[in-house]
């Protein structure tokens, strides 16, 4: 018993040292795929190189040009390119092109990319070479969900700020970040989630900890089949 206690004490001490040396924790992919068969991952996202060859459709309920501010204003806006959609109550931009521009969206902003949905109140979205490259979002909080098409399971997360890199398929969350697949929960100061490989990188919160919760299978089965965000 003394030997066992010594080993546990040594292990705990070693763990604390590792936590002190590096506050970033790379969580193994199996944390988010315990109940998913190998055929269910990795996820697929649109070919972003191919996306720039597709037309961009813009529909709005109302628009005008503000000469004083040199800005185009839109209300009830919807932008579609292939499987990618952006909707918002309002949007402004300096010029109507998608080669190298920054659009500002506000009010019920929704970004949908195949089975991934992000909902926020404010978003700065950067277009380059006729396609979306990056979206920086703020909200109370910003929320996202990703539904696995094969299994029907849902991964969802929220944070006060969120960045969506469409080239890499990585969503980076900061300020009270939280992520769950129904069977596991992770929270921390910053969490990055790879939508394609279903990998998580989590940084410690103010207390110096990354928190994880493992939900019993009988409770997780119902939560994993929850509906996506509205």
- For residues 33 and 6, give the distance between their C-alpha atoms in angstroms, rounded to a whole number: 34
The predicted structure's pLDDT at residue 47: 57
Looking at the domain assignment, is residue 11 inside a domain?
no
> Greater confidence, 53 or 24?
53
What's the average model confidence in pLDDT over 66-95? 92
Looking at the domain assignment, is residue 4 inside a domain?
no
The predicted structure's pLDDT at residue 111: 96
Question: Number of folded domains in the chain?
Answer: 1
> Greater confidence, 120 or 17?
120
Report the percent of the chain where pLDDT is more than 90.
40
Looking at the domain assignment, is residue 107 inside a domain?
yes
What's the average model confidence in pLDDT over 96-123? 94
Looking at the domain assignment, is residue 7 inside a domain?
no
Residue range of the domain that includes 174: 27-223
Looking at the domain assignment, is residue 79 inside a domain?
yes
| pLDDT reading at 86 higher than 90 | yes
The predicted structure's pLDDT at residue 19: 38
SS3 179: strand
Question: What's the CATH code of the domain at 188?
Answer: 2.60.450.10
What is the phi-psi region of residue 130: left when phi exceeds 0, alpha when psi lies from -120 to 50, beta otherwise? left
> Greater confidence, 212 or 165?
165
Instruction: Give the CA radius of gyration of the chain.
Output: 21
Looking at the domain assignment, is residue 91 inside a domain?
yes
Most confident of 76-80, 184-188, 226-230: 76-80
Encode pLDDT of 153-173 as tens digits. 899 999 999 999 988 889 999
Looking at the domain assignment, is residue 111 inside a domain?
yes
Looking at the domain assignment, is residue 153 inside a domain?
yes
The predicted structure's pLDDT at residue 25: 45
């Amino acid at each position: 018993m003394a030997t066992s206690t010594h080993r546990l004490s040594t292990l705990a001490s070693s763990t604390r040292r590792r936590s002190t040396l590096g506050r970033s924790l790379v969580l193994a992919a199996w944390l988010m795929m315990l109940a998913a068969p190998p055929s269910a991952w990795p996820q697929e996202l649109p070919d972003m190189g191919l996306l720039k060859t597709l037309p961009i459709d813009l529909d709005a309920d109302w628009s005008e040009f503000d000469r004083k501010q040199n800005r185009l204003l839109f209300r009830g806006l919807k932008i579609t390119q292939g499987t990618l959609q952006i909707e918002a109550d309002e949007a402004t931009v300096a010029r109507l092109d998608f080669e190298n521009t920054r659009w500002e969206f506000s009010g019920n902003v929704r970004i949908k990319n195949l089975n991934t949905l992000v909902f926020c109140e404010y978003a700065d979205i950067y277009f380059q070479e006729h396609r979306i490259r990056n979206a920086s979002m703020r909200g109370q909080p910003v929320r996202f969900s990703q539904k696995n098409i094969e299994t029907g399971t849902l991964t969802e997360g929220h944070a006060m700020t969120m960045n969506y890199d469409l080239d890499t398929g990585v969503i980076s969350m900061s300020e009270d970040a939280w992520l769950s697949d129904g069977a596991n929960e992770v929270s921390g100061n910053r969490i990055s989630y790879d939508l394609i490989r279903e990998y998580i990188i989590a940084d410690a919160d103010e207390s110096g900890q990354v928190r994880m919760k493992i939900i019993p299978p009988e409770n997780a089965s119902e939560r994993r089949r929850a509906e996506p965000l509205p």
